[in-house]
Structure 1
Amino acid sequence: MAAKARSGLSLRASQHEATHRRILDAAVASLVEAGTAATTTVAVQNRAGVSRGALLHHFPTHAELLAATVDELVRRNEGAARDALAAHTDIVDPIDRATRALADAFAQPAYLAELELWAVARTDQQLRAGLRAVESRARRDLERVVGDLFGSLREHPAYATAAALTIEFVRGLALAGVLRSNRAHRNRLLEEWVRVVRFLFDQKSAAWISPSTSKTGKAIND
């Protein structure tokens, strides 16, 4: 009897999780394909093929539904970054390779959908509150992915500054690409940015002295 009860609970939990996933997948698909304005609760309900009651049980408000998509969008963006890095194995320079991989990932619809959510949150207090709850996790995930793209350069004293600036640069490049699709211009900007980052790394290498090392190169504590 107890085993049968546990089996019933397990089945209900599985069904609950499957419905939750179906709604979330429908919301993400709508965001990517149609944008935030078209991703209404009714549109998501129809895409997911669930009842109104089921949707509201899992996501009581529209803002909660949209905020919940961020984790999935971040997961897709991480996959896009790794795919882009694999596609640039012919590029020897790690700075060039990391920058282009990140730029390609940020140009994908899933990342643009994530940016659109942040933009809409500017005037939507409920959505802004929901996004704040997941923003720190999304930022940590992005920082981890960028660190993986730059590889051993993470140990360089210029890395933190270079990574932060590169994120801002490719984010702007992605937004500009929505209105202007000029690959030659985009490539020129990427080439110039790689030069800037390489210069930053070179300057830091020349100027930086390890806190534990004297000017003679001998460890201070020796």
Structure 2
Amino acid sequence: MDAGREPQQERSRATRARLLDAAVRVLAERGAAGATVGAVAEEAGVSRGAAQHHFPTREDLSLAALRHMLDRRGEELRRGVAAVPEGAGRTEAVVRMVVDAFSGVDFRAALQLWAAAASDPVLRERITPLEERMGREVHRAAVDLLGADESVPGVRETVQATLDLARGLGLANLLTDDGPRRARIVRQWALTLDSVLARPPGATDAPPDTG
């Protein structure tokens, strides 16, 4: 391999990474409309030409930033999985891990793209598969960690509701950072989840026959 080419490739990868990190920050702070290639280049401290070499259009940059966020969220999820304790408190720890997956700067940035995609069918078509992939990864991690039997009525829906709850808490946290309230909700939902997970395989959601 050309010895001079390798440093150039490393510089190119470093510039791309700086642009993606900057794009996430700009999306979170200024929204999708403000995340132009020029604005992101300025935030990253690189020339507009260098930014356009990697990402010719704003859409290219936004989608690459979303993939970058999802990859980063996936890494955080894998670290969270490794840290979940055994025994008492495990369910609450899993719920907290899921809630944490929908928080922070990455979540705020992704939310801006979701909002933009709601009125842009082309963008929505490209973003939806990426978000669905992440949803599947979080759902599968939760199922595995909880040892959940999704053949039992209500279990799959309750695990999925955990993800929906996490997204809702993430939205609420954009306006007010209320850690104690979130902790109480996580604790209560863990109790609800435990009661559903304790159902025997032959359980049913139908009400008992009192006739």
Q: TM-score, normalised by structure 2?
A: 0.75
Deviation of 1:179 after TM superposition, in Å, equals 2.5
Displacement of 1:67 after TM fit? 1.0
Larger Rg: 1
Cα distance in 1 for partners of 2:98, 2:128 equals 24
In the alignment, what sits opposite 1:185? 181
Alpha carbons of structure 1 residues 49 and 181: separation in structure 2 relative to 1, 3 Å: closer
Give the distance between the partners of 1:171 and 1:133, measured in 2 at CA.
17
Counterpart of 1:121 in 2: which secondary structure?
Answer: helix
Alpha-carbon deviation of 1:65? 0.6
Residues 84 and 90 in structure 2, CA contact (< 8 A), matched pair in contact too: no
- Tell me which of 174, 193, 196 is aligned to 2:192: 196
Q: Show the counterpart of 1:169.
A: 165
Q: Kindly report which structure 2 residues correspond to 1:117-132, keeping only aligned pairs within 5 A, or say none.
A: 117-132=113-128
How many Å apart are 1:133 and its aligned residue?
Answer: 5.3
Partner residue of 2:145 out of 147, 151, 154 = 151
Residue 43 in 1 paired to residue 25 in 2? no
Shift of 1:120: 1.9
CA contact (8 A) 2:25 2:109 kept: no
Q: Is the 8 A contact 1:36 1:117 kept in 2?
A: yes
The 1-side partners of 2:16 and 2:123 are apart by 19
Query: 2:175 corresponds to which letter in structure 1?
Result: L
In the aligned structure 1, how far is the partner of 2:75 from the partner of 2:173? Answer: 21
Post-superposition offset of 1:81: 4.1
Which structure has more relative contact order (CA 8 Å, sep 6+)? It is: 2
Report the Cα distance in structure 1 between the residues aligned to 2:151 and 2:200, rounded to whole angstroms: 7
Contact 1:23 1:44 in 2 (8 A): yes
Unaligned runs of at least 5 residues, structure 1: 209-222
* Superposed displacement of residue 106, structure 1: 2.0
Partner residue in 2 for 1:57: 53
State how far apart, in whole Å, the 1-side matches of 2:56 and 2:122 are.
12
TM-score for the superposition, normalised by structure 1:
0.72
CA gap of 1:139–1:99, structure 2 versus 1, over 3 A, is: closer
Question: Could you tell me whether the CA contact under 8 Å between 1:31 and 1:39 is conserved in 2?
Answer: yes
CA distance in 2, matches of 1:77, 1:54: 27
Q: Match for 1:19 among 8, 15, 19?
A: 15
Residues 82-93 of structure 1 aligned to structure 2 (within 5 Å):
89=85, 92-93=88-89
State how many pairs are aligned.
202
Quick check: 1:71 aligned with 2:67? Answer: yes
Please, what is the CA RMSD of the aligned residues? Answer: 3.1
Give unmatched runs, 5+ long, in structure 2.
205-211
Aligned with 2:113: secondary structure? Answer: helix
For 2:103, the equivalent position in structure 1 comes to 107
The secondary structure found in structure 2 opposite 1:203 is: coil
How far apart are 1:25 and its partner, in Å? 2.1
Deviation at 1:51, TM superposition (A): 2.4
